[in-house]
Protein backbone atom coordinates (compact mmCIF):
# COMPACT_ATOMS: atom_id res chain seq x y z
CA UNK A 1 0.00 0.00 0.00
CA UNK A 2 1.36 3.42 -1.00
CA UNK A 3 1.97 5.80 1.90
CA UNK A 4 1.33 9.31 0.56
CA UNK A 5 2.43 12.45 2.37
CA UNK A 6 -0.49 14.85 1.87
CA UNK A 7 1.79 17.87 2.25
CA UNK A 8 3.92 16.58 -0.61
CA UNK A 9 0.77 16.13 -2.71
CA UNK A 10 -0.14 19.77 -2.12
CA UNK A 11 3.39 20.79 -3.22
CA UNK A 12 2.98 18.74 -6.40
CA UNK A 13 -0.42 20.31 -7.16
CA UNK A 14 1.09 23.78 -6.70
CA UNK A 15 3.83 23.01 -9.25
CA UNK A 16 1.26 21.79 -11.80
CA UNK A 17 -0.94 24.84 -11.28
CA UNK A 18 1.91 27.39 -11.27
CA UNK A 19 4.00 25.61 -13.95
CA UNK A 20 7.07 26.67 -11.98
CA UNK A 21 9.09 25.30 -9.05
CA UNK A 22 9.97 28.78 -7.78
CA UNK A 23 6.38 30.09 -7.94
CA UNK A 24 5.06 26.92 -6.31
CA UNK A 25 7.65 27.18 -3.53
CA UNK A 26 6.62 30.79 -2.89
CA UNK A 27 2.93 29.80 -2.89
CA UNK A 28 3.56 26.98 -0.40
CA UNK A 29 6.01 29.03 1.74
CA UNK A 30 8.80 26.45 1.43
CA UNK A 31 12.28 26.52 -0.07
CA UNK A 32 12.81 25.33 -3.64
CA UNK A 33 15.12 22.46 -2.55
CA UNK A 34 12.49 21.23 -0.06
CA UNK A 35 9.79 21.31 -2.73
CA UNK A 36 12.01 19.56 -5.29
CA UNK A 37 12.81 16.87 -2.71
CA UNK A 38 9.07 16.34 -2.09
CA UNK A 39 8.45 15.85 -5.83
CA UNK A 40 11.39 13.43 -6.00
CA UNK A 41 9.97 11.43 -3.08
CA UNK A 42 6.62 11.15 -4.89
CA UNK A 43 8.32 9.99 -8.09
CA UNK A 44 10.27 7.34 -6.14
CA UNK A 45 7.07 6.23 -4.43
CA UNK A 46 5.22 5.88 -7.74
CA UNK A 47 8.28 4.65 -9.66
CA UNK A 48 7.70 7.10 -12.50
CA UNK A 49 8.32 10.62 -13.74
CA UNK A 50 5.65 13.15 -12.80
CA UNK A 51 6.79 16.39 -14.43
CA UNK A 52 8.41 17.57 -17.66
CA UNK A 53 10.12 20.89 -18.39
CA UNK A 54 8.91 22.65 -21.57
CA UNK A 55 9.41 26.16 -23.03
CA UNK A 56 5.95 27.03 -21.65
CA UNK A 57 6.90 25.86 -18.16
CA UNK A 58 6.61 22.68 -16.13
CA UNK A 59 3.83 20.33 -17.22
CA UNK A 60 2.68 16.98 -15.81
CA UNK A 61 3.41 13.69 -17.56
CA UNK A 62 0.55 11.25 -18.13
CA UNK A 63 1.29 9.78 -14.70
CA UNK A 64 1.42 13.31 -13.31
CA UNK A 65 -1.99 14.13 -14.81
CA UNK A 66 -3.51 11.11 -13.06
CA UNK A 67 -1.89 12.02 -9.74
CA UNK A 68 -2.99 15.66 -10.03
CA UNK A 69 -6.59 14.61 -10.61
CA UNK A 70 -6.45 12.28 -7.60
CA UNK A 71 -4.74 14.87 -5.39
CA UNK A 72 -7.22 17.58 -6.37
CA UNK A 73 -10.13 15.34 -5.38
CA UNK A 74 -8.41 14.47 -2.08
CA UNK A 75 -7.83 18.16 -1.31
CA UNK A 76 -11.46 18.96 -2.12
CA UNK A 77 -12.72 16.11 0.07
CA UNK A 78 -10.56 17.23 2.98
CA UNK A 79 -11.66 20.86 2.64
CA UNK A 80 -15.31 19.85 2.31
CA UNK A 81 -14.99 17.46 5.26
CA UNK A 82 -13.50 20.16 7.47
CA UNK A 83 -16.30 22.55 6.45
CA UNK A 84 -18.92 19.96 7.40
CA UNK A 85 -17.20 19.18 10.71
CA UNK A 86 -17.20 22.91 11.49
CA UNK A 87 -20.87 23.10 10.52
CA UNK A 88 -21.68 20.19 12.83
CA UNK A 89 -20.45 22.28 15.73
CA UNK A 90 -22.48 25.31 14.66
CA UNK A 91 -24.73 25.61 11.59
CA UNK A 92 -24.14 29.38 11.73
CA UNK A 93 -20.55 28.70 10.67
CA UNK A 94 -21.63 26.56 7.74
CA UNK A 95 -22.57 27.21 4.14
CA UNK A 96 -25.56 26.16 2.04
CA UNK A 97 -25.42 26.17 -1.77
CA UNK A 98 -28.76 25.72 -3.54
CA UNK A 99 -29.42 25.47 -7.28
CA UNK A 100 -32.83 26.36 -8.69
CA UNK A 101 -34.16 26.09 -12.24
CA UNK A 102 -36.62 28.53 -13.89
CA UNK A 103 -39.46 26.08 -13.21
CA UNK A 104 -39.16 26.67 -9.45
CA UNK A 105 -41.25 29.30 -7.67
CA UNK A 106 -39.04 32.18 -6.55
CA UNK A 107 -41.61 33.06 -3.89
CA UNK A 108 -41.30 29.62 -2.29
CA UNK A 109 -37.48 29.64 -2.40
CA UNK A 110 -37.35 33.23 -1.11
CA UNK A 111 -39.60 32.32 1.80
CA UNK A 112 -37.44 29.28 2.66
CA UNK A 113 -34.24 31.33 2.54
CA UNK A 114 -35.83 33.93 4.84
CA UNK A 115 -36.77 31.18 7.32
CA UNK A 116 -33.20 29.84 7.23
CA UNK A 117 -31.88 33.36 7.83
CA UNK A 118 -34.20 33.76 10.83
CA UNK A 119 -33.01 30.46 12.28
CA UNK A 120 -29.30 30.88 11.49
CA UNK A 121 -28.39 34.56 10.89
CA UNK A 122 -24.71 33.85 10.17
CA UNK A 123 -25.25 30.91 7.83
CA UNK A 124 -23.85 31.67 4.37
CA UNK A 125 -26.53 30.88 1.77
CA UNK A 126 -25.79 30.89 -1.96
CA UNK A 127 -28.63 30.48 -4.45
CA UNK A 128 -27.53 29.58 -7.99
CA UNK A 129 -29.95 29.99 -10.90
CA UNK A 130 -29.55 27.79 -13.96
CA UNK A 131 -31.05 25.22 -16.29
CA UNK A 132 -31.39 21.56 -15.37
CA UNK A 133 -28.33 20.09 -17.10
CA UNK A 134 -25.88 22.71 -15.82
CA UNK A 135 -27.25 22.48 -12.26
CA UNK A 136 -27.07 18.68 -12.41
CA UNK A 137 -23.39 18.90 -13.36
CA UNK A 138 -22.71 21.32 -10.48
CA UNK A 139 -24.47 18.96 -8.09
CA UNK A 140 -22.47 15.95 -9.29
CA UNK A 141 -19.22 17.90 -8.83
CA UNK A 142 -20.43 19.10 -5.41
CA UNK A 143 -20.39 22.79 -6.29
CA UNK A 144 -23.92 22.92 -4.88
CA UNK A 145 -25.50 20.90 -2.06
CA UNK A 146 -28.90 20.36 -3.69
CA UNK A 147 -31.04 21.57 -6.54
CA UNK A 148 -34.73 22.24 -7.05
CA UNK A 149 -36.17 21.64 -10.49
CA UNK A 150 -39.05 20.10 -12.36
CA UNK A 151 -38.44 16.43 -13.04
CA UNK A 152 -36.55 15.83 -16.30
CA UNK A 153 -36.02 12.81 -18.53
CA UNK A 154 -32.21 12.83 -18.12
CA UNK A 155 -31.68 12.46 -14.36
CA UNK A 156 -28.22 11.10 -13.54
CA UNK A 157 -28.23 7.72 -11.77
CA UNK A 158 -25.99 9.13 -9.01
CA UNK A 159 -28.69 11.52 -7.80
CA UNK A 160 -31.64 11.05 -5.46
CA UNK A 161 -34.81 13.01 -6.16
CA UNK A 162 -38.02 13.47 -4.20
CA UNK A 163 -41.25 15.27 -5.06
CA UNK A 164 -41.77 18.51 -3.12
CA UNK A 165 -44.76 20.26 -4.70
CA UNK A 166 -46.47 20.64 -8.05
CA UNK A 167 -46.66 23.66 -10.32
CA UNK A 168 -48.74 23.93 -13.49
CA UNK A 169 -47.61 23.92 -17.11
CA UNK A 170 -49.54 26.64 -18.94
CA UNK A 171 -49.89 27.59 -22.60
CA UNK A 172 -48.55 31.05 -23.40
CA UNK A 173 -47.81 33.44 -26.21
CA UNK A 174 -46.14 36.83 -26.46
CA UNK A 175 -48.27 39.88 -25.61
CA UNK A 176 -47.26 41.08 -29.11
CA UNK A 177 -48.88 38.05 -30.73
CA UNK A 178 -51.98 39.08 -32.76
CA UNK A 179 -54.11 36.49 -30.93
CA UNK A 180 -53.13 37.75 -27.48
CA UNK A 181 -55.77 40.49 -27.68
CA UNK A 182 -58.63 38.14 -28.44
CA UNK A 183 -61.08 37.40 -25.64
CA UNK A 184 -61.76 33.89 -26.87
CA UNK A 185 -59.19 31.82 -28.76
CA UNK A 186 -60.74 28.99 -30.72
CA UNK A 187 -59.28 25.55 -31.30
CA UNK A 188 -58.87 26.55 -34.94
CA UNK A 189 -56.73 29.53 -33.84
CA UNK A 190 -54.50 27.18 -31.86
CA UNK A 191 -54.29 24.70 -34.72
CA UNK A 192 -53.27 27.41 -37.18
CA UNK A 193 -50.55 28.83 -34.90
CA UNK A 194 -46.89 27.82 -34.66
CA UNK A 195 -45.82 25.99 -31.48
CA UNK A 196 -42.51 25.25 -29.74
CA UNK A 197 -42.17 22.35 -27.28
CA UNK A 198 -39.48 21.15 -24.89
CA UNK A 199 -38.52 17.49 -25.19
CA UNK A 200 -38.86 17.15 -21.41
CA UNK A 201 -42.49 18.29 -21.72
CA UNK A 202 -43.14 15.51 -24.21
CA UNK A 203 -41.63 12.98 -21.77
CA UNK A 204 -43.65 14.24 -18.80
CA UNK A 205 -46.98 14.53 -20.64
CA UNK A 206 -46.89 12.03 -23.54
CA UNK A 207 -50.66 11.50 -23.64
CA UNK A 208 -51.41 15.19 -24.17
CA UNK A 209 -48.52 16.17 -26.41
CA UNK A 210 -48.36 13.06 -28.60
CA UNK A 211 -51.98 12.04 -28.89
CA UNK A 212 -53.88 15.30 -28.59
CA UNK A 213 -51.88 18.35 -29.56
CA UNK A 214 -49.24 16.91 -31.91
CA UNK A 215 -51.76 14.88 -33.89
CA UNK A 216 -53.80 18.03 -34.38
CA UNK A 217 -50.79 20.08 -35.51
CA UNK A 218 -49.08 17.30 -37.44
CA UNK A 219 -50.84 17.88 -40.75
CA UNK A 220 -49.45 21.41 -41.02
CA UNK A 221 -46.05 20.58 -39.47
CA UNK A 222 -46.20 23.90 -37.62
CA UNK A 223 -44.34 22.90 -34.47
CA UNK A 224 -40.74 22.68 -33.23
CA UNK A 225 -39.10 20.41 -30.63
CA UNK A 226 -35.97 21.51 -28.77
CA UNK A 227 -33.82 20.70 -25.73
CA UNK A 228 -32.81 24.37 -25.36
CA UNK A 229 -34.92 26.34 -22.82
CA UNK A 230 -33.54 29.66 -24.07
CA UNK A 231 -34.69 28.84 -27.61
CA UNK A 232 -38.20 28.12 -26.33
CA UNK A 233 -38.31 31.52 -24.66
CA UNK A 234 -36.94 33.31 -27.73
CA UNK A 235 -39.40 31.59 -30.09
CA UNK A 236 -42.30 32.62 -27.85
CA UNK A 237 -41.15 36.20 -27.24
CA UNK A 238 -39.73 37.11 -30.64
CA UNK A 239 -41.08 34.74 -33.27
CA UNK A 240 -44.78 34.61 -32.31
CA UNK A 241 -44.78 30.92 -31.38
CA UNK A 242 -47.13 29.45 -28.79
CA UNK A 243 -45.56 27.28 -26.11
CA UNK A 244 -45.84 25.85 -22.60
CA UNK A 245 -44.02 27.20 -19.55
CA UNK A 246 -44.30 26.62 -15.78
CA UNK A 247 -46.61 29.15 -14.13
CA UNK A 248 -43.59 30.10 -11.96
CA UNK A 249 -42.32 32.00 -15.02
CA UNK A 250 -44.93 34.66 -14.29
CA UNK A 251 -43.12 35.53 -11.04
CA UNK A 252 -40.16 36.89 -13.04
CA UNK A 253 -40.07 40.68 -13.26
CA UNK A 254 -37.98 40.32 -16.42
CA UNK A 255 -40.88 38.60 -18.18
CA UNK A 256 -43.61 40.79 -16.69
CA UNK A 257 -45.89 42.11 -19.41
CA UNK A 258 -44.17 40.06 -22.15
CA UNK A 259 -46.14 36.78 -22.08
CA UNK A 260 -49.80 35.96 -21.64
CA UNK A 261 -51.55 32.79 -20.51
CA UNK A 262 -53.75 31.16 -23.13
CA UNK A 263 -56.70 29.26 -21.66
CA UNK A 264 -57.25 25.84 -23.19
CA UNK A 265 -60.52 24.23 -22.21
CA UNK A 266 -60.34 21.21 -19.88
CA UNK A 267 -56.54 21.33 -19.78
CA UNK A 268 -54.56 21.01 -16.54
CA UNK A 269 -50.96 19.80 -16.68
CA UNK A 270 -49.39 19.40 -13.23
CA UNK A 271 -45.63 19.93 -13.24
CA UNK A 272 -43.87 18.05 -10.40
CA UNK A 273 -41.01 19.95 -8.74
CA UNK A 274 -38.36 17.76 -7.10
CA UNK A 275 -35.39 18.21 -4.82
CA UNK A 276 -32.21 16.53 -6.08
CA UNK A 277 -29.32 15.45 -3.84
CA UNK A 278 -26.21 13.31 -4.46
CA UNK A 279 -26.32 9.63 -3.57
CA UNK A 280 -23.74 8.23 -1.14
CA UNK A 281 -22.84 11.63 0.31
CA UNK A 282 -23.78 12.76 3.80
CA UNK A 283 -25.92 15.89 4.01
CA UNK A 284 -24.73 18.94 5.91
CA UNK A 285 -26.84 19.95 8.94
CA UNK A 286 -27.95 23.12 7.09
CA UNK A 287 -29.09 21.00 4.11
CA UNK A 288 -31.11 18.75 6.41
CA UNK A 289 -32.85 21.75 8.00
CA UNK A 290 -33.63 23.23 4.57
CA UNK A 291 -35.12 19.92 3.39
CA UNK A 292 -37.32 19.74 6.49
CA UNK A 293 -38.62 23.23 5.68
CA UNK A 294 -39.28 22.06 2.12
CA UNK A 295 -41.32 19.16 3.44
CA UNK A 296 -43.45 21.64 5.36
CA UNK A 297 -43.97 23.54 2.10
CA UNK A 298 -45.07 20.29 0.45
CA UNK A 299 -47.57 19.57 3.20
CA UNK A 300 -49.16 23.02 2.82
- With b for 16 or more beta-carbon neighbours within 10 A and e for fewer, the 252-263 pattern comes to eeebeeebbebe
Q: Confirm whether 105 is domain-assigned.
A: yes
Residue 83 pLDDT > 70, yes or no?
no
Q: Confirm whether 80 is domain-assigned.
A: no
Domain match, 94 and 155 both: yes
Domain match, 258 and 177 both: yes
Domain match, 68 and 99 both: no
Residue 214 pLDDT > 70, yes or no?
no
The pLDDT > 70 percentage for the chain reads 84
At 113-151, the pLDDT tens digits run: 999 989 888 888 999 988 888 999 999 988 999 999 987
Residue 298 pLDDT > 70, yes or no?
no
At 152-189, the pLDDT tens digits run: 767 888 999 988 888 888 888 888 888 887 777 777 77
Paired strand residues for 278? 159
pLDDT of res. 77: 67
Full 3-state SS string of 15-79: HHHHCCHHHHHHHHCCCHHHHHHHHHHHHHHHCCCCEEEECCEEEECHHHHHHHHHHHHHHHHHH
Whether pTM > 0.85 for this model: the answer is no
Q: Confirm whether 67 is domain-assigned.
A: yes
Q: Confirm whether 134 is domain-assigned.
A: yes
Domain boundary among 16, 40, 74: 74
At 247-293, the pLDDT tens digits run: 887 776 666 678 888 777 667 788 888 999 998 777 788 888 898 88
Domain boundary among 74, 103, 118: 74
Query: Stretch 31-39: mean pLDDT, rounded?
Result: 90
Q: Confirm whether 83 is domain-assigned.
A: no
Domain match, 195 and 262 both: yes
Sequence-ordered strand ranges (E) for the chain: 51-54, 57-60, 95-100, 124-129, 146-150, 159-174, 195-198, 223-226, 242-246, 259-261, 269-278
Domain match, 108 and 120 both: yes
pLDDT of res. 97: 93
Neighbours of 155 (CB within 10 A): 15
Number of domains within the chain:
3
Q: Which residues have a Cβ under 8 Å from the Cβ of 72 and sit 6 or more positions away?
A: 13
Could you list the residue range(s) of the whole structural domain that residue 42 is in? 6-74
DSSP state of 249: G
Amino acid sequence: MLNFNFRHLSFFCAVVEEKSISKAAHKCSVSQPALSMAISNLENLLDGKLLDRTPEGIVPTSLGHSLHELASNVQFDITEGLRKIEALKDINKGQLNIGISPSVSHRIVGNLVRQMRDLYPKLLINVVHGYFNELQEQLLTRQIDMMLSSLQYSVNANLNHNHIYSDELVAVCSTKHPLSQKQNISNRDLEESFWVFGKAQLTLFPEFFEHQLINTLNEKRNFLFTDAPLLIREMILRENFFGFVPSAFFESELLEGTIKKIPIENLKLELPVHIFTPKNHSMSPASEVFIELLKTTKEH
